[in-house]
A and B are shown apart, each in its own frame.
Chain A
């Protein structure tokens, strides 16, 4: 004796948020039922385990049927099969495209290829996120990447329009796409302390300031790639470390400004040339794609680590970077003010964001 067939179809599609989350999290029907029983929904509604199982299966089926629509969220709004109120649609999409920070940290900056997908079971065991959920998240990244890659105009806006995501989520996806496209290295041990939100912040900075779309507001430009011309110009900044006079002048200006204002003045004075060389070298190398990938590791190695070992506070870092940036404009032989500002603006905010334990 068994229930052979069991369906429930509402004119307005009924979707339980809790079950949806369980489904998204990759739980099997039986596991989901267990979780629900533990959640106490049974006592609340005078239901039996049987009822719960039937309901869960039904909901899972509904979600599976909806899934192909969720791959193209715009379709969800004008499909006829499911009558879903708009607020529900928004919820479905938002949650479907939501991801785990711990998962995204694992694949951030990696090529969104089949090879990476094959390694997802390792990611799954490492993060404790079910393989099913990992796959969904990975496929989401890939899907967004593929759609946005070829599109012109502002990245975040494109994502928001094509996937009907809320602003914050669209920004996060922009970061993921940007990282995947430029293949920034984020997996090195030294970078482990950084959260996804740190990277997302930096990505936002880079997108807003270093891409082609950032300078001229022409819609035809793409946000995914860094502005090649700018990267080329960055080489000109080398003068700051190759010209001995400039370097000394720069150092004295910064030191004068900071004297007495910080507890780590001595360390700063001793390290100035090293730090400056580090930052300018990063700038000069960015024209090579390979060095772009190491951008974050370079920032950590060349600047953040030395500062940290000298026990700078983030206030110290902020102070230093502000004066370091501004003093350059006083140097009379230095010509590349615009490039310097564009470069240092991003570097400063990235470093400040990344400067934590």
Chain B
């Protein structure tokens, strides 16, 4: 019967769809698709005009086919669940693993190497067709290239996957539970299984499991900060109070928290269809931008690939013109490409980035995307959310006013140091009111936890007061017990005060004590006396004036001010047996005694001002973007230094000079506080002007969309924008930003999903660490790349000389790969451990279009200076080996054809000795090994000089970075292994090299060092000179 009834309800509402549904159930599955589409359309419409808050309970029941008392039937619920899917946000679309893997396989230089490998195979194919016994060398080379690409691809993929996994484990959450009424029974089910029409119960401390239309509520307050960014608790009831569904009191939203009270409501939206879901999908709609370092690496890959391909093709043409066989020319082309492409570099960059990511994670800065590590370093604007990021996200008592004097309370994180004068009698009374007129309570069983960390049941203000009095007075619960509460009136928005009446702890004093707190002006109205120095005095005009001054002053600080008063009820009128009634208020509520004011604020984190100063000196503009009130925002901005002490807004100037705001010259103001309303009326040009002209900006009362607009505005200024935030409302901006940082503790999942980085300790100052690390890694990557590029010339020259001058080939292609992927790998990673040369936090952020990772100076200096010196050094070793074996340098020129001929087995050297083809081959391999060792030895010098770009090596300290020495050792060990360990394996083309040849290139290595020290010396001596401009990279 019940089932039947439900059906009827739904038919009434979704008549068309339901008929179709029935058809579908009857077996016509074709209709299912259309049905789904229709439903989607309908749902979309419903989303756009949410009007459930206007409906009466009866209408709601009809609309959602449910029963307020009995709830949904579980079968109906299961149906709806199948229809609408679980009540959870769809996680952001993951790129399939295979795509990620393939991307690594074709990204960067890989495509070039693939081309090389394929050319090798094609060359072999052609050779094979004409001569089936053609040598397999090119097949080997092609295979080696392919293996190199695949291995580096796998490696990079592994690195990426590893850092993603950290994230995945971090994001895992405890499944949320919800209390729901189904089949007339209360059940606890996972929140994921909620469906539209479910009747749910919520209580203080719960997270709201879906968008809920409240049906009844008792003292329910919610914290909408994850939605609006505003941490002020908002009361909720079943009344329809506002047209706007976001403002009305009878709707609570998914993922916000219920602070206190209880409520029952009906689920009206689930999963992605909730308001939060929509914002989250707004975030996923914002495209992922390329990170600056990705752009830089792309730029660098383009440069190197451009050089490789153009040199390759140039020499291909030369080779063809020199009557080389086309197939040989192709092999040269491949060799030149291989020589020019730093195969190991991208893997090295990945490792360097992940090392930094690890280091940052240790400093509470967890980076999701490896490339985002550097982004922080190039950040020029940080748009920070206020609540929770800059502030502690908890109300704390900041100021007190009693005895006509303002006292400052300690607002630091531990709060233990309340040093204001507590001797006055007024304070004794005030502290009693604070302790007694308070409904918040500590969660039991946490006595060992520090007071500030204990969980409190109650709203933010009461929590603040409770903790404040607990710190000062000791056990508040005990005090309350001693002063038994006889009656209380909780705070409500009409009274704007809270009142309770207690028996006093003094057994001789039979009077009742009435304590009251509330909005200061309301409290003052109810008072006729004021307590000064513990004595009651009549509240005269001057006292009232003093009160107003204090009230305005505290309010002006953006603080929430509460007034406190008390009154001892006369014992004769109110004997011990008197029965108080909170409804009829059979006790006096006027002519009370005013005791004091107390103001609270969500105070800034103690580390933030320092961090903001550091950002400033690092040339980073910090902009506050908050959903909170402009006054509070400005006050916090001032206290953390986002608005510096001596700068004024236009409004401040107007106030100071007593002129209208319009008359103020806008150029005089350094700071600006802009509200969402003002922002709404601004054109993009005006916003650009605002962002460009004011160094200190606070945006208050902004919506998620506006945050996005602000970020885009900053990006139009060519700035690299970092955004920090925790709420769902921040997530579109987090996604849009070049780097979004979500708060790890308070951050919502939507924010964490959208962010590139997570601040594990929710601390703004972690960002500063991140900036420092990001800048350092940028510098160090420059060094790594410079180091790696240098040897390219030494690798390239042999082929060019082989082609043009016909020397026996100085180094083979496979041997090159052993440099690129063998000896050079660890040293280039070691540079990532290099310490900063100077205070990197004292310079401007890099300009993302002008300060490139690989600039002309770096390429020129690496290729044409050090690279060339290396090539000469390596050739010296090569010539030495040949000369000592009987072939003098002069005789080697144009020897190539005879040398490479398999059919010439009595080639004469300078001594008249005759060499067979294999004997020459073996000598050639010795030459390879010699050249290889020559490059390796000079790369050691190269590694040492790359430690600094400007300072002397000796200033930087030769031994400070131990990893460099590990790198050097690894170079030598790998080379020794290749020469002596694998020297007998002919396929690798290494031979055992005589000990003295290892030292031939040492003078060249020293020369490189001396030359570079000279370069650095002149750069330091003549900054800005011609030398500096051309030689500093």
Chains A and B bind each other: no
